[in-house]
Structure 1
């Protein structure tokens, strides 16, 4: 009888432990993958450290073990992300960070196509019952005002349509430096496109609170 009760207690403890685990997949391109950085300094590993350091900042994440999956592929477009969405959303995934569109924009691809691809990802997540944080991108002005307006509108529109959490910009942590190229250079790699490790730290600090909200939503909070 004593062994029976010990077995019941063990099973209950195991159930509680399982209930406190949240797995987040970060679906993105080189910015997510960690291009040009040591393995422990990319976006995903730095986000993991930030979440651990800020566990007490949110009741929803207190005592929760968050596992992060790096589903970033360097050079990927929204089309690539849409093609990978189904097998990224494995049964253990509870939440999804979507940070795609930068390469579509850099190549001047049709914003309508990017919208359709991102919508396909959100639909796949919805069907899987997975909470989503959609991270926005902004097009530069050199493609013209019409292109910029159409591209920039994709993210808030889709977030509202699908009830996803929304972060306005992946680079929000560096926005205050945009008008000072010399200062911004301290946080960028030599290509001027990808952040260095210090830049990623600022990016993670800005996006981190949104990820805490994502954890809460994944838990049904």
Structure 2
């Protein structure tokens, strides 16, 4: 009887050991949620930010899958309206990138902040961490607009405990060699620069720091 109990315990222990690696095999699931800058406007397959970020993270040993939930032309209002069905259950990190189209249309920064606040609140309710990718206003919109717009992202990141990446186009904006002919969207080389700059912050968000 003792031998049978020992054998049963041994089999159970081996089953647990076999199951444990399988449980750890699930990749870390990220959703890149934003506008054309996230969607990869004007780029070929695999050249968008989520795809290249996934490749860079995997190269550094992170088992991740990044879904591209970017929609060209989307504003914060559009993002808010589709957030619930764009972010599936099981998502472990959202890279939230909105505001460029609002800014280009001169939308009141107060409305931009309100929409982003609601998105962050919903994600917090679902216990989904957020990396908030910021945007800055174009100089032609004036100092007052730029100052008000610029405070949105750090304020909300602090309010919701989100990881802040201050400027999504850091190192790319204003560099014609890294932009498409429209002068606004990054080309493939621009995406490479964006991934390189954002990578340390994304790794911190994955680690929960």
Q: Give 1:40 shift.
A: 0.9
Among 181, 184, 190, which residue is 1:199 paired with? 190
1:101-116 pair list within 5 angstroms: 101-116=99-114
Question: Deviation digits for residues 95-141 of structure 1, max 9, x if unmatched?
Answer: 11011000000000111110000001100110011111101100012
Question: Deviation digits for residues 49-70 of structure 1, max 9, x if unmatched?
Answer: 1112223xxxxxxxx4111010
Gaps of 5+ in 1: 56-63, 179-183
The answer for the alignment partner of 2:42 in structure 1 is: 36
What is the distance in 2 between the residues matched to 1:10 and 1:89?
Answer: 31
Among 143, 146, 164, which residue is 1:145 paired with? 143
SS of 2:66's equivalent in the other structure is: strand
Question: Deviation digits for residues 143-199 of structure 1, max 9, x if unmatched?
Answer: 221111111110011001111100110111326xx4xxxxx2211100111010001
Is contact 1:189-1:195 (8 Å) kept?
yes
SS of 2:69's equivalent in the other structure is: strand
The answer for the alignment partner of 1:27 in structure 2 is: 33
Is contact 1:89-1:128 (8 Å) kept?
no
Count residues in correspondence: 201
Is contact 1:173-1:205 (8 Å) kept?
no
Among 162, 170, 173, which residue is 1:172 paired with? 170
Among 191, 204, 207, which residue is 1:213 paired with? 204
The answer for the alignment partner of 2:131 in structure 1 is: 133
- What's the TM-score once normalised by structure 2's chain length? 0.90
The answer for the alignment partner of 1:11 in structure 2 is: 19
List, as ranges, runs of 4+ consecutive aligned residues in structure 1 with deviation greater than 4 Å: 1-6
What is the distance in 2 between the residues matched to 1:159 and 1:8?
Answer: 40
RMSD: 1.6
Q: Which has the higher contact order (CA 8 A, sep 6+)?
A: 1
Gaps of 5+ in 2: 1-7
